[in-house]
A and B are shown apart, each in its own frame.
Chain A
């Protein structure tokens, strides 16, 4: 028999280790008794750094306090793409878990040699390796720079869940003490020597062009160091922040713009008029989708453009080298993807990637692709006018609302048939959406706002749509429920009147929301209780378990009915159909205002690395989704965005937020998955169902404002 003479393909390694295989890209064991950890994922308020520290400390058998985190930088960090999709635990966490396990093994091998004993006789406590028969040595003595200068082998097995002592505990977040004592914590807080301040003056609408402007007047204003115009890109650099703001206001007053083509009416159903441009694809079929049952139902649900609305307007610092450093560029940004950003930046500037050093610094929570990348190019373009000087650009609140990429509007049409026993025998789901993925790193262009406004503009990359099973617009469009016959169709209209990109859960929000509302509509038609109706159409025991758990927490009564003002409803989804299981019950009170008064959530994220961290993420997702569902919509007129501040875009306030109760079903034996996004659809569905339960009016167009409830009641 012929022997294969080709080398075996490289083994698939866990998480991001597969593409960053050297151990020393991830960890260093230091002589001073500390361990430095390099992750390519970034903190965006989700507590990821604390979780990966726990996973590392666990495998190394060291106290977490020994770990030092190095801010992600293109100068040395592993390239882990983008921190998104609730994948950081799976990608960075699992990589570091494995790197730490191999590192421990390498250290123990050295210890065994040094102590002249067998590996089996060694134990480790906080980095001290002891032999059973006496003698000990520390990691800090054993480690030399060559220790980790090698690729991972994957021959070492990480600990079993039952051996965990750090993982699975609610370690306090490492970043919170600085944040509650007012210490520098964010890119916004960086104040290097000689710092200058920049602001950008944007067009009135997405395609407007600059007709005329007299820069002289602004150049002579107090503190102004430079005014930059490049095509339709207009900005100013000043000594002091308020001087930059004043100068920008003057630019805005004197600039004359040609408005671009008119924007369409602000209605998600505008998507339906673009059918000719749609890429339509049947993404799931089962059985015979033409099956008819005893009863047929159909309904159409929509969501509007939504904003990320980070509390902090986006901010970045940039400094061009001068003299000997000429041609080099340093950047500090809260981008979720420093490497993809560097690639786009190099294209805009026409310079080699290695001359651009991008370091991550935290911003406020972003919940997806906000303006973090865009403001970075703004800072770079302004800083180019003052080589050798650091320039900080923070967008004004008005800029953030008007120019961040929005979450796409969506239309979801559902139809189903019930048999004479009240079971769903056929299911149809059609969705219309713009793209949910236009981050930097796209193909065939550059995804940075200012690049499109330059004298020589660069084209935008083709808007992307992440493929199934995770999916983008079609995320969670294939039902987890088990129906004998079904058909799911995705109508993707990539080009949108307003720029759209990733917001928490992507299309999974609208899809799961629509499915969950429609399930309740069907349950009612079948004369069934919504909880029982869901359970009978599910096979997956983990799915059933979260639904049963939340029903128990809320003391759900079969077929419970609202009283005309108060009511409750349920929603469920498994995020991306492959990650967290989440079931939610919402209680609403419809009086003068539409209030969600209480939310219960039951969650299964597999192994919970940091249970309180998971619960914090879940609570936050639930409240944010309640806010989207009740209040949020980006508004625009024919020229541009009219949503400019928090009065135009109200979010749930402290007076309005619901009480919240979350239970975790911890499954240490199951792989850990992210917790950041899975709540969005179930919460909206539960609220829609609770409103119906309370007042008998079915709202299908988010947001569920008072006006819409009044209209639905009088319809």
Chain B
């Protein structure tokens, strides 16, 4: 069965059953592999995308539930020529080891900075509560998000 969803500003058709998790439609139907499977249970955040302005774990939401809602994935965060300040900051701070958690964290961070471009350390930590990192790059990630916020505020 074909469903049409709004991904990164475009209508996209996916040949998936209604209850198929959005994650598989993004990865396997649309080739948007930046969102990654980590648990399938909404516990780790590796699959986080932004829907209606909010960070959502795409492994845990059926594709039929997001029809008509704007979905943003990490692929639309920036372009290679013009990376989003968050992406630039992750590179500047070398805020990754294996990087499997990175795209989900970037999307959670974007959802935060979209509504609050001057978050406190505690607010950033809270916003990332649903994202796990196993390599232990947390302190670099926190630094990178602060750096990106500063950039977005026009302070650097």
Which of A's residues lie within 8 Å of B, judged by CB?
44-47, 170, 172-173, 175-177, 179-186, 188-189, 191, 240-242, 245, 309-313, 362-365, 367, 394, 396-397, 612-613, 616-617, 619-624, 627, 645-647, 651-655, 657, 659-660
Contacts and interface: CB of A to CB of B under 8 A. Distances in A.
Given A179-B102, A181-B74, A397 B38 contact: yes
Nearest to B87: A180
B26 to A, nearest CB: 10
Interface in B35-51: 35-41, 43-44, 46
A245 to B, nearest CB: 8
Given A313-B39, A619-B140, 10 more contacts: A46-B97, A181-B80, A182-B75, A309-B134, A311-B44, A311-B46, A311-B98, A311-B101, A657-B138, A659-B139
A602 to B, nearest CB: 17
Contacts of B96: 45, 173, 176, 179-180
Contacts of A623: 136, 138-139
Contacts of B135: 45, 311, 365, 620, 624
Contact of B16 (A175, A242, A651): A242
A182 B77 contact: yes
A660 B99 contact: no
A167 B44 CA distance: 36
A209 B28 CA distance: 34
Contacts of B97: 45-47, 365, 616-617, 620
A634 B140 CA distance: 28
A704 B134 CA distance: 19
B134 A310 contact: yes
Nearest to B76: A182
Nearest to A401: B39
A645 B43 contact: yes
List of 9 A-B pairs having minimum Cβ-Cβ separation, nearest first: A182-B34, A45-B98, A623-B136, A179-B99, A620-B136, A365-B98, A364-B100, A182-B74, A654-B128
Contacts of A652: 138
Nearest to B34: A182
A181 B87 contact: yes
Contacts of A313: 37-39
A655 B98 contact: no
Contacts of B99: 45, 175-176, 179-180, 185
A182 B33 contact: yes
Given A181-B74, A182-B73, A651 B132 contact: yes
B40 A172 contact: no
Interface in B107-147: 124-126, 128-129, 131-142
B79 to A, nearest CB: 8
B65 interface: no
A32 to B, nearest CB: 22
B58 to A, nearest CB: 13
B83 to A, nearest CB: 7
Contact of A396 (B40, B44, B75, B142): B40
A267 B106 CA distance: 40
A652 to B, nearest CB: 8
B73 to A, nearest CB: 7
B100 A186 contact: yes
Contact of B28 (A173, A177, A241, A660): A241
Contacts of B131: 654
Interface string B86-108: 11001100101111111100100
A565 to B, nearest CB: 19
Contacts of B138: 623, 652, 654, 657
Contact of B31 (A191, A645, A655): A191
7 contacts: A47-B97, A182-B35, A240-B16, A612-B94, A613-B94, A616-B140, A645-B43
